[in-house]
Amino acid sequence: MTKTKKILWIDLEMTGLDMNKDVILEVAAIVTDWDFKELATFEEIVHQSDQTLETMNEWSINQHGISGLTERVRSAKKSSTQVEDDLLKFIDKNFEKDVPILLAGNSIHMDRRFIETQWKRVDAKLHYRMLDVSAWKVVFESKFKKKFAKPEEHRALGDIRGSIEELKYYLAKLK
């Protein structure tokens, strides 16, 4: 299988939105081609202590409690470094070495800030350009009054799949 012309979609779930204080709880990644066909998937949860989980903001406490993520984080076995190691192996298996990887997702700049801060080895593999689906959302909602009804699971893998479907929706409107 050729390793060229692919996109790395990533979604993170975190304890909050402050990359200097909050931490990553869950990561999912999907590799697609430019027709948005799934070629590979990755999903892992990072163990965090009760002390760390107690620092979550109110939104995260509620949402991650409802989704079951908080309990899965408590029972997870892998540290952030171990999950980063596994993500690097996934990336190396699916992308060419020394070719910057295009990162994609919804509001991907936020995920990228956490990756830059907490997973520097992953960040080193990424291209400076990103494919941010939320930019498409702003244009289509503001200019064309077109809104994609994306389910908000707030679990990483489901959120990525929703982002891919959302971009397909916008691109179909261009035809």
Catalytic-residue membership of 169? no
Q: Which among 29, 2, 53, 17 is positioned nearest to 164, based on CA atoms?
A: 29
In DSSP terms, 154 is beta-bridged to none
75, 128, 129, 145: which is the annotated catalytic residue? 128
What residues are annotated to the active site? 128
